[in-house]
Amino acid sequence: MADRSLFMEGGELESPLVRLCIEAATQSGDAVETWRRQRRTLERLPSQLAEALLHRLLSRRLLYPSLLEVFKYSVEKVDLRGESSVDAEWMAYLGAFQYLYSLNVSDCHRINSSALWALSGMNYLMEVDLSRCSKVNDAGIKHLLSIQTIERLSISETSVTTNGVTLLSSLKKLSKLDLGGLFINDVALVSLQVLTNLQYLDVWGSDISNDGAAILVTFPNLNFLNLAWTKVAVLPNVSSIACLNMSNCTIHSLFKGEGNKARLSKFILAGALFKDITRAFSYFDSSCLSFLDLSNSSLHDLSFLSCMHSLEYLDLSGNLIGDDSLEFVASVGANLKTLNLSNTRVSSAGVAILPGHVPKLETISLSSTPTDDLAISYIGMIPSLKVVNMKGTNVRECDLSLTALENLKQLEKLDLEETPLRDEAVTPLSSFKELNHLSLRSSFLTDASLHHLSSIPKLITLTMRDAVLTNAGIDSFNPPSLLQVLDLTGCWLLTKDVIMSFLQRHPEIEVRHELVHMFPSDSENTKHPSPLHTTTRTSQQRRFSASPHKSEITTII
């Protein structure tokens, strides 16, 4: 599989010759020893090329602390996130990097406070990520204070306390500060008032209260704020905020106060409880809101949506809304691209409201709703759709209802898991030219379906869980040329020998099954598949098991 580190912006690393050179340089330990002696040549490497070489060595487990020395004059950005071997020795060499401006050692659990001493006094370091390095505490923060160039600092889920956070007030250039999951209180927030350049502040899971939140008005440039899992119920009018996360908060008032109204573009409120949601939304300008996550918020009335005509992403999953609520969604659907209605009471009658009102809709999720085959006919009337999730619905193949989806010429992903489909129902899917991800889970599907689906030209991932597939069916299966993942979990008739035989014929395909857990072979071994390696992240035991901050590119399938 291609190493993504070779495909960087600027085009310089797109050259086949460059890729071949890096491939040769990282072929083996002996190859590394041959070129590492040419130190002067390495010192003149362009930073992008040097970084690509370093990360290729890392991915092939050929990078060790003393080898870092050859990169100290060329590499400007180092990403070692999740590398379990990184410790104080690695940091000692990294501290000698002359032009390093970005260092990411998040999830490197052997990093402790004393290891950070090696970074003291670095001249160009602007970005440091120590997230989930649980051995880093207040003493480690003291080592960072001599690096006055730091602009972006992430210390979420470390052992830093309020006392350590108060020390950060001397880093006057800070524009991004991630303190998520720390046991800090209002005192910490008060101490940060001097950081007038702060644009990004994350304090999820802390003991910040309404009193601490009142201080936020003193940050004139604050653009992003994460208060999820805090005690904040009343947020003052911080008019500069464009992105706000208050998931799992009990909300009484938002942005109430004098001055210009906040113009939010992204608002995450997953699991939040509202005293009066209509009133809470009345104190800020929602006309520019493009991203709104209200999942699992016990909502039953969506009338407050009426002014949000810029919405592109709307997550209403896990709420008490029914078909009537879809009228409000349709009224603001002109720009909507993603709509999540999973685990709601919306039926096919509600879906019938959407066609004609959501001309740009690309993704819809109706998983675990009472929708049935009739809903598919309405979905087929929304031609812009690329992703459809109807997992766990009442779709039952009545009158070959999936033929209605043939109108979706751009359909790329389809999830019909946990629906009792039979072979004749999935036959229309073989004509979907753009489909690249298909998920099915039905004990009524047989070899016939597998062979029908093999004609989908762009299929990359095929899931056929719990199907009645036979050894003969797998032996005769000719997979689509682009197929990368074949999930056969729960196909109980298959034997290990047959799956191994398939893997030998198609080493580029990852097969998932209880008997044989295999990844496709990598570039160093194209003959035999390598065993599955599972990377587990061990988080420190806290009140919260994971950060509630959602990714910018949230995927609902």
- The predicted-structure confidence for 417-440, as pLDDT tens digits, reads as follows 999 999 998 989 988 999 999 999
E strand or H helix at 40: helix 39-43
Alpha-carbon dihedral 414, 417, 420, 426, rounded to 10 degrees: 30
Residue 22 lies in a domain: yes
pLDDT value at 552 more than 50: no
How far apart CA 35 and CA 54 sit, in angstroms, is 13
134 occurs within a structural domain: no
Helix (H, G, I), strand (E, B) or coil at 140: helix
Render 146-205 in DSSP notation, one character per residue: T-TT--EEE-TTSS--HHHHHHGGG-TT--EEE-TT----HHHHHHGGG-TT--EEE-TT
Query: Is the CB of residue 191 less than 8 Å from the CB of residue 167?
Result: no
**14 in a domain, yes or no?**
yes
Query: What is the CB neighbour count within 10 angstroms for residue 10?
Result: 8
Q: Is residue 67's pLDDT more than 70?
A: yes
Q: Are 245 and 227 in contact (CB under 8 A)?
A: yes
The answer to whether the beta carbons of residues 354 and 327 sit under 8 Å apart is no
Kind plus residue range of the DSSP H or E element containing 463: strand 461-465
Give the pLDDT score at 1: 37
Average pLDDT over residues 476-488: 97
Rounded mean pLDDT, 494-516: 95
pLDDT at 25: 78
Residue 29 located in a structural domain = yes
Task: Name the residue with tokens 């409000």.
Answer: 328
Q: What is the number of helices (H) and of strands (E) in the chain? A: 17, 25
pLDDT of residue 557: 41
Q: Is residue 176 part of a domain?
A: no
Cα–Cα distance for residue pair 449/469, rounded to 1 Å: 9
The pLDDT, as a whole number, for residue 517 is 64
And the tokens for 431? 């004509």
Does residue 12 belong to any structural domain of this protein? yes
Mean pLDDT of 413-417: 98
In the chain, the number of structural domains is 1
Taking the CA atoms of 372, 374, 378 and 381 in sequence, report the sign of the dihedral they define: positive
pLDDT tens by residue, 285-322: 999 999 999 999 999 999 999 999 999 999 999 999 99
Give a yes or no: residue 267 inside a domain: no
Per the structure, the complete domain to which residue 9 belongs is given by: 1-69
